[in-house]
């Protein structure tokens, strides 16, 4: 059974839900410690036959997991996440939810089927439903296409969606405002806040909340 965003977030309180995956960022303080953690996580993945996406950097390990066969979070992911949280705790490592960020490029279009193939060709991405493209290696930002009802030449038609941990969103928004941004709309908060830079280019700070 696929869990709702709320259920998944409650089931793994040490992790954060971002764009369909449970994620955790761990500060390891050394590359060797990060590699050792990755190897330990790999052993759990093989034991459970449930394999995450792992990014090893100095000095951070980023882990993301979901059940690809159902397109969401299941008890398999919860079981895996609990085992990984135990590994993190045993090593005395710090979790840094503020480091979790997913970037999406949102393109407003009148004719999504007419423009999506172009973007698929230039990015070499793969379809994710009828209105989105994703990097098959989950490295680059994804693209999604927002349906417009009428042409809008007076505003930028491409903006960034910045998805962060739900408890990081307000701090991220405030930093953007202090950096010269302005709040365009908070009507849909805490799902997302629409912000703009000094010249009107827009970005949304997004969370999973109020989306179930």
CB–CB of 97/15 below 8 Å? Answer: no
Phi and psi based region of residue 177 (left: phi greater than 0; alpha: psi -120 to 50; beta: remaining):
alpha
**92 exposure class (CB count in 10 Å sphere: 0-12, 13-18, 19+):** exposed
> Has residue 115 got a pLDDT over 80?
yes
Query: What percent of the chain is modeled with pLDDT above 70?
Result: 100
Segment 91-113 shows an average pLDDT of 96
Q: What is the pTM of this model?
A: 0.93
> How far is the C-alpha of 9 from the C-alpha of 4, rounded, in Å?
8
Mean pLDDT over 130-152 rounds to: 94
- Helix ranges (H only) for the chain are 5-11, 31-48, 75-90, 112-123, 169-178
Share of the chain above pLDDT 90, in %: 93
Question: Which long-range contacts (C-beta less than 8 Å, at least 24 apart) are formed by 124-132?
Answer: none
Q: Which two tokens stand for residue 123?
A: 């990015």
Residues making up the chain, counted from first to last = 212
Identify the pLDDT of residue 96.
97
Query: Where residue 110 falls among pLDDT bands split at 50, 70, 90?
Result: very high
- Is the per-residue pLDDT at 176 higher than 90? yes
pLDDT of res. 151 = 83
Confidence band of 17 (pLDDT split at 50, 70, 90): very high
């Amino acid at each position: 059974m696929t869990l709702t965003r709320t259920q998944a977030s409650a089931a793994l309180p040490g992790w954060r839900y971002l764009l369909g995956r449970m994620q955790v960022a761990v500060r390891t303080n050394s590359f060797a410690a990060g590699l050792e953690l990755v190897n330990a996580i790999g052993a759990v993945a093989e034991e459970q036959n449930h394999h995450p996406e792992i990014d090893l950097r100095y000095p951070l390990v980023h882990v993301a997991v979901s059940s690809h066969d159902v397109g969401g979070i299941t008890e398999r992911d919860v079981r895996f996440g609990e085992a990984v949280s135990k590994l993190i705790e045993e090593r005395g490592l710090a979790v840094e939810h503020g480091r979790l960020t997913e970037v999406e490029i949102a393109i407003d279009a009148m004719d999504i089927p007419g423009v999506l193939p172009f973007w698929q060709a230039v990015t070499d991405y793969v379809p994710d439903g009828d209105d989105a493209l994703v990097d098959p290696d989950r490295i680059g930002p994804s693209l999604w296409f927002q349906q417009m009802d009428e042409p809008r030449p007076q505003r930028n038609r491409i903006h960034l969606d910045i998805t962060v941990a739900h408890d990081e969103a307000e701090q991220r928004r405030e930093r953007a405002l202090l950096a010269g941004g302005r709040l365009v709309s908070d009507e849909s908060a805490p799902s997302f806040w629409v912000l703009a830079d000094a010249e009107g280019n827009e970005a949304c700070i997004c969370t999973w909340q109020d989306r179930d």
